[in-house]
Every structure is written in C-alpha cells, then in structure tokens.
C-alpha cells in the first residue's frame, strides 16, 4: 500500500512539474524572461509559490527546464537518428520541416525570438544556452553544406563560407516578420525557396 501511495505521489509531482513548465513556457514566450512573474506562473499553474519553489528553486532553473523541454521535443520529433557523417539533404529537409512545424507553434517562435534578443546580454541566464545553440546550429548546418558541396549538389556560384550563419539569419528574420504579420509572411515556403536557390535537387 505504501509503495502504491508513493507511486501516486511521484506521478502527481511529475504532472505538477510538467504543468509548471508548460505555464512558464507560455509566460516566457509572452513576456520574456525578465518580464515573466514567478508569482503569476505559480498562480496560473495552480500551485503556491512554495510549491513552485519546491520543483524550481530559482527562476533560472525554471527557464532551464523550459529550454531543455523544448530541445527534447524537437530532437525527438525532427532530429532522431541523425548520425555522422551528416547527409546534407536529409539534415536540411529536417530543418525545413521544423520551420514548417513552427508555423503552428507561435509560442515556440515567440520564446526564442524574445530570448535571442534578451540573451545578447552576457549577464542574462540564457546567454550561454543561446550562444551554444547558435554554435551548434552553425556546426550542423555547416556539416550539411560541406556534404552537399562535396557531392556537387550546390548550385554554381554558391559561396559556402558563412552560408550556415546566413541560413540561420534567414530563418530568424522570417520568424520575426511572421510573428508581426503571420498572414503576410509564409516563413516555411520562403525558407524552402531559399534552399532551392542553393541546392540543385529537391530538399525533402
């Protein structure tokens, strides 16, 4: 009986923690890290401030949990099974599908748009995370571009140097414009058109 009670308690605790993370995600997306209130997050999660602190002792730890959860979901849904050496067409296709997926997840786009600006300040708790995220993106996309170049799949005249950073900037810029005017900017289609300008074959 005691074991069953413990299991039930753990399950409730995990569910409560997940609910807090979801609520915090919405708050950080809407207000940024600095504008989000722990008191309001606790209230919107249906827990006391003490209950929130039990799971997340600091605001920084809560932000870290939100970012880790988003990364976990994206990895499982779009990048599971990616191994070295990178298949450039496959990786660009996965990246394009992620961009398309984000058109139905305004909160995700808003979260990273706000955090990317806020975290340019080295004192921001997400600074290291955002910097590492961009570094990893440049590395993965750089490997994809190098593979396409080696296979002769890039169009004549495409400059490989700096192209990974350019593609990231393209997506970031499209996302901000889409947030402002979602009915006027089709970021998924625009990104695929940019890929078509670069690659001689279709990207899945």
pLDDT, tens digit, 9 for 90 and up, residues 121-141: 999 998 999 999 999 999 999
Give the C-alpha separation, 96 to 187, whole Å: 10
The number of CA neighbours under 13 Å toward the Cβ of 102 is: 28
Is pLDDT larger for residue 29 or for residue 131? 131
Q: Which two tokens stand for residue 103?
A: 């058109």
Residue 6 has pLDDT above 80, yes or no: no
Which CATH number describes the domain made up of 1-65? 1.10.10.60
What percent of the chain is predicted at pLDDT more than 90?
67
Summarize the confidence of residues 32-45 as an average pLDDT. 93
∠ CA 152-158-160, nearest 5°, is 85
Domain edges within the chain: 1-65, 79-204
Give the C-alpha separation, 130 to 128, whole Å: 6
Contact 20, 45 (CB under 8 A): yes
Query: Is the bond leading into 85 cis (omega within 30 degrees of zero)?
Result: yes
Contact 51, 42 (CB under 8 A): yes
pTM above 0.75, yes or no: yes
Q: Which two tokens stand for residue 4?
A: 């069953």
What is the band of 82 on the pLDDT scale with cuts at 50, 70, 90?
Answer: confident
Q: H helices within 57-184, ranges in order?
A: 59-78, 88-102, 106-118, 127-150, 163-180
Give the C-alpha separation, 49 to 88, whole Å: 47
Contact 16, 47 (CB under 8 A): yes
Q: Which residue has the tokens 């050496």?
A: 85
Q: Which two tokens stand for residue 182?
A: 């979602």
Summarize the confidence of residues 176-203 as an average pLDDT. 95
């Amino acid at each position: 009986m005691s074991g069953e009670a413990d299991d039930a308690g753990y399950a409730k605790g995990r569910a409560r923690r997940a609910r807090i993370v979801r609520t915090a995600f919405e708050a950080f997306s809407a207000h940024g890290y600095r504008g989000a209130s722990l008191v309001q997050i606790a209230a919107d999660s249906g827990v006391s401030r003490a209950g929130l602190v039990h799971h997340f002792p600091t605001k920084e730890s809560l932000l870290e949990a939100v970012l880790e959860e988003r990364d976990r979901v994206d990895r499982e849904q779009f990048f599971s099974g990616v191994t070295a050496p990178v298949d450039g067409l496959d990786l660009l296709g996965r990246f394009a599908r992620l961009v398309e997926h984000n058109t139905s997840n305004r909160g995700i786009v808003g979260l990273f748009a706000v955090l990317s600006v806020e975290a340019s300040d080295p004192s921001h708790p997400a600074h290291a995370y955002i910097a590492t995220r961009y570094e990893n993106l440049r590395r993965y996309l750089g490997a994809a571009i190098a593979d396409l170049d080696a296979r002769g799949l890039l169009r004549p005249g495409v400059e490989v140097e700096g192209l990974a950073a350019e593609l990231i900037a393209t997506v970031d810029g499209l996302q901000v414009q889409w947030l402002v005017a979602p009915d006027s900017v089709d970021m998924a289609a625009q990104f695929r058109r940019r890929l078509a300008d670069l690659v001689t074959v279709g990207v899945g």
